[in-house]
C-alpha cells in the first residue's frame, strides 16, 4: 500500500471518488477550487464548501484555487472580494498565489464561445427573456398528476448560418445592440427532459460597468457557461459543489466536452442546513436591508464576520465542519452541535474573569473598614500555563441578582436570609438581611457577615456549604454593556411557514437582550477588542469593536450550558 493510500482511510464518497480517479489515471494530481461570487459576505454554508475544497486538495497533496465568480457586474464589488479574502484567511485557509477571477478569462471565454459557433453548437437569438422561457417550456402534471416535461419549441433564429452568428456575436460585443435585444445560446436539444439543456443562454448584453474590467465589455457570460470553462482553464480536476448543482452537471459536461478543454469533473455534496438559521445570501440580504439586524456582521447572523464578532473561534468552526461530514442527501444539522464545538475550543483556551450582568450590592457588615485584599484567581483551569491573576476583594461587592432570593425555591443553594455561600476565591458569608427600594420594590442591598477563617472558600470545620457564587468588588468594578445573543429564529426550520406568512414571521423577539449596568473585575479593562473570554458562571463573551475607553461592550458568544453534550451522552448510553 502506498503512503497516500495509508494516509486516507476514506470516510466520504468525494474522497473515494478522487482516489479512484487517481488510481485509474483519469487525473495525475488533485486540483480543486473555491468559487464564491463577490456579491455578499461569506456564511457558514460557504464555509462548509471551502472546508471541503481546501481539505480534499490538502489530503491528496494537491492545490486549491480561490476564484471569484464575478460574471454579474450589477451585484459585485471589490468590497465583497476583500471581505471574502479576510474571512477565508481568518478561518485558516490559504490559497497562496492562486487567486483568480472569472473576469480574468473574459477573452478566453469569448474565443471558446466563437469556437462553439463555428462548430454549429451556438447561435445568436433575438427572442427576449420571457420568450425564451416560453419556448423552453416547463414541467407540467399529466392527468394522473405525474410531472412530465413536454418538448419545447425551437427559436425562429436557431438555424442561422455560422457566419451570420459570428458576425452578430462580434457586433454584440462591439455594443451595436441594446440590452436584452440578443443573446448567445448553446444549440443542444429543445426536447431534452432537463430544462437546463434546452439551448441555455451563454451570453447576454448588459451595459453595466464591471468593478474590474470597467466598460471594456457589454456582454457577460452566464454562470453555466463560464464556470466549467473557468475550471478547465485553471486545470481544476474536481469541481466540488453543493447538491443543487447536480441538475447542472450534464450542461457542465457538455460545455467541457464540446469546447474541447481540460476535462474537469463535477461532484456534488449536500449543502449545510442549520437549525434556527437561514443560509441564503438572498434572504440574509433582506434581513440587512430591512434592518432586522445591524448589518452583515451582526453577531446573530450566520456570516463568518458575524460569528467572528460574536466570539466564535476559527478552530471551533473548523471542528464543527469536520464533524458534520460530507453526505449525498440534504439533512438538518442541530445548531447546538456548532455551539458545542465552539464551547469546547473556548473552554481550552479562553481566560476566565468574573463579571455580573444584573448587579445588586452585597455589603459585608463585619468587614474591616477600607480594607482591600487581593486574591489569587486562576486564569484557565484547563491551561496551567495561563497562570494566575490578582482580584480585589472589599467589603462592598456586586453579585448577580439571580444569586439571591427572599424566599428560596426548592434546591436553591445560593444566597437567602440565614443561608451561607462561598464567594469564589474569597470567603464564606452568611446572609443577615436585605433592603428594598421603596419605589420599585426590588431588593437594593443584601447584608452579610463573613468568616475570616474561610479565605479561599474552605471552612476549617468542614461545614457543608453547597453554593458558590461569583462577585465583583464595587469599588474596583469596571462598567460594561452586555449583549446577550440567542438564536435569530424561533423556528427550527425558519423557511417552513404557513401560507400568507414569510420567514420573517419566525424571527425571535428574544434574540438580543442588552444589560446596560453590567460590572466586571478590573482586569477586564485590559482585554483587547475581538478577544473571547469566559465570565465565570455566565458564559463566553467577546469584546465588541463598539467598545470605548469609557464603556466596554461584550457580546455573549455561547452560554456555559451544553445541551448537545448531554444529548450526545444520553444517546451513547441508550446505544
Q: Please, are residues 332 and 492 in contact by the beta-carbon 8 Å criterion?
A: yes
Catalytic residue, candidates 33, 37, 48, 536: 37
Other C-beta atoms within 10 Å of 413: how many? 14
Query: DSSP assignment, residue 478?
Result: E
Q: What is the grid cell recorded at 343?
A: 464551547
| SS3 of 350-419 | CCEECEECCEEEEEECCCCCCCCEEEEEECCCCCHHHCEEEEEECCEEEEEHHHECCCCCCCCCCECCCC
Helix, strand or coil for residue 30?
coil
Distance CA 518, CA 531 (A): 18
Cα distances from 218 to residues 72, 122, 131, 168, 170, in angstroms, run 11, 19, 22, 14, 11
End-to-end CA distance of the chain: 35
Helix, strand or coil for residue 329?
coil
Q: Please, are residues 32 and 56 in contact by the beta-carbon 8 Å criterion?
A: yes
Catalytic residue, candidates 281, 352, 422, 556: 281
Distance CA 325, CA 13 (A): 10
Q: Please report the DSSP string for 257-291 in residue order.
A: HHHT----EEEEEPPPEETT----HHHHHHHHHTT
Closest CA to 380 of 350, 339, 418: 350
Closest CA to 259 of 237, 229, 226: 229
Helix, strand or coil for residue 171?
helix
Catalytic residue, candidates 86, 206, 271, 537: 271
Q: Please, are residues 49 and 57 in contact by the beta-carbon 8 Å criterion?
A: no
Catalytic, 422? Answer no
Q: Which residue has the cell 480536476?
A: 237
Q: Please, are residues 303 and 296 in contact by the beta-carbon 8 Å criterion?
A: yes
Catalytic, 20? Answer no
Ramachandran angles phi, psi of 343, nearest 5°: -60, -40
Q: Please, are residues 113 and 184 in contact by the beta-carbon 8 Å criterion?
A: yes
Distance CA 391, CA 388 (A): 10
Catalytic, 271? Answer yes
Residues carrying an active site annotation: 37, 271, 281
Amino acid at each position: 500500500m502506498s503512503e497516500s493510500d495509508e494516509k486516507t482511510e476514506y470516510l466520504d464518497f468525494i474522497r473515494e471518488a478522487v482516489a479512484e480517479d487517481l488510481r485509474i489515471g483519469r487525473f495525475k494530481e488533485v486540483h480543486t477550487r473555491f468559487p464564491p461570487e463577490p456579491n455578499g459576505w461569506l456564511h457558514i454554508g460557504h464555509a462548509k464548501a471551502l472546508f471541503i475544497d481546501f481539505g480534499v486538495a490538502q489530503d491528496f497533496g494537491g492545490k486549491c484555487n480561490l476564484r471569484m465568480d464575478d460574471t454579474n457586474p450589477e451585484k459585485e464589488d471589490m468590497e465583497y472580494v476583500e471581505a471574502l479574502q479576510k474571512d477565508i484567511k481568518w478561518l485558516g485557509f490559504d490559497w497562496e498565489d492562486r487567486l483568480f477571477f472569472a473576469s480574468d478569462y473574459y477573452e478566453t471565454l469569448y474565443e471558446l464561445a466563437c469556437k462553439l459557433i463555428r462548430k454549429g453548437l451556438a447561435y445568436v437569438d433575438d427572442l427576449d427573456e420571457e420568450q425564451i422561457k416560453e419556448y423552453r417550456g416547463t414541467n407540467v402534471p399529466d392527468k394522473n398528476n405525474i410531472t412530465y416535461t413536454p418538448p419545447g419549441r425551437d427559436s425562429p433564429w436557431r438555424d442561422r448560418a455560422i457566419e451570420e452568428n459570428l458576425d452578430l456575436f462580434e457586433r454584440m460585443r462591439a455594443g451595436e445592440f441594446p440590452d436584452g435585444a440578443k443573446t448567445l445560446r448553446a444549440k443542444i436539444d429543445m426536447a431534452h427532459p432537463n430544462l437546463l439543456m434546452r439551448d441555455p443562454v451563454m451570453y447576454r448584453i448588459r451595459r453595466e460597468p464591471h468593478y474590474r474590467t470597467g466598460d471594456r465589455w457589454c456582454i457577460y457570460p452566464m454562470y453555466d457557461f463560464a464556470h466549467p470553462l473557468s475550471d478547465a482553464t485553471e486545470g481544476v480536476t474536481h469541481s466540488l459543489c453543493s447538491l443543487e448543482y447536480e441538475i447542472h452537471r450534464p450542461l457542465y459536461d457538455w460545455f467541457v466536452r464540446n469546447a474541447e478543454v481540460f476535462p474537469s469533473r463535477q461532484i456534488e455534496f449536500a449543502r449545510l442546513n442549520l437549525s434556527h438559521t437561514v443560509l441564503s445570501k438572498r434572504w440574509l440580504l433582506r434581513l440587512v436591508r430591512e434592518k432586522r439586524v445591524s448589518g452583515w456582521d451582526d453577531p446573530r447572523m450566520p456570516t463568518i464576520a458575524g460569528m467572528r464578532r460574536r466570539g466564535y473561534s476559527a478552530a471551533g468552526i473548523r471542528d464543527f465542519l469536520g464533524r458534520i461530514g460530507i453526505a449525498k442527501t440534504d439533512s438538518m444539522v442541530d445548531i447546538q452541535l456548532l455551539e458545542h464545538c465552539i464551547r469546547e475550543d473556548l473552554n481550552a483556551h479562553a481566560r476566565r474573569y468574573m463579571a455580573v450582568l444584573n448587579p445588586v450590592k452585597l455589603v459585608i457588615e463585619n468587614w474591616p473598614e477600607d480594607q482591600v485584599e487581593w486574591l489569587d484567581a486562576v486564569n484557565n483551569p484547563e491551561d496551567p500555563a495561563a497562570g494566575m491573576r490578582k482580584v480585589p476583594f472589599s467589603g462592598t461587592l456586586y453579585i448577580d441578582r439571580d444569586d439571591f432570593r427572599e424566599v428560596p425555591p426548592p434546591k436553591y443553594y445560593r444566597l437567602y436570609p440565614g443561608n451561607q455561600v462561598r464567594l469564589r476565591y474569597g470567603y464564606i458569608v452568611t446572609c443577615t438581611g436585605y433592603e428594598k427600594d421603596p419605589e420599585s420594590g426590588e431588593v437594593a442591598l443584601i447584608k452579610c457577615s463573613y468568616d475570616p477563617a474561610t479565605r479561599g472558600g474552605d471552612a476549617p470545620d468542614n461545614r457543608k456549604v453547597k453554593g458558590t457564587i461569583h462577585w465583583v468588588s464595587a469599588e474596583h468594578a469596571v462598567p460594561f454593556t452586555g449583549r446577550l445573543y440567542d438564536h435569530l429564529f424561533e423556528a427550527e426550520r425558519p423557511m417552513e411557514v404557513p401560507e400568507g406568512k414569510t420567514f420573517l414571521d419566525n424571527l425571535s423577539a428574544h434574540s438580543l437582550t442588552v444589560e446596560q449596568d453590567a460590572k466586571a473585575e478590573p482586569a477586564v479593562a485590559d482585554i483587547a477588542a475581538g478577544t473571547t473570554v469566559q465570565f465565570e458562571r455566565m458564559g463566553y463573551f467577546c469584546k465588541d469593536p463598539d467598545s470605548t475607553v469609557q464603556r466596554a461592550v461584550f457580546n455573549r458568544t455561547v452560554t456555559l450550558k451544553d445541551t448537545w453534550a448531554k444529548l450526545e451522552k444520553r444517546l451513547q448510553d441508550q446505544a
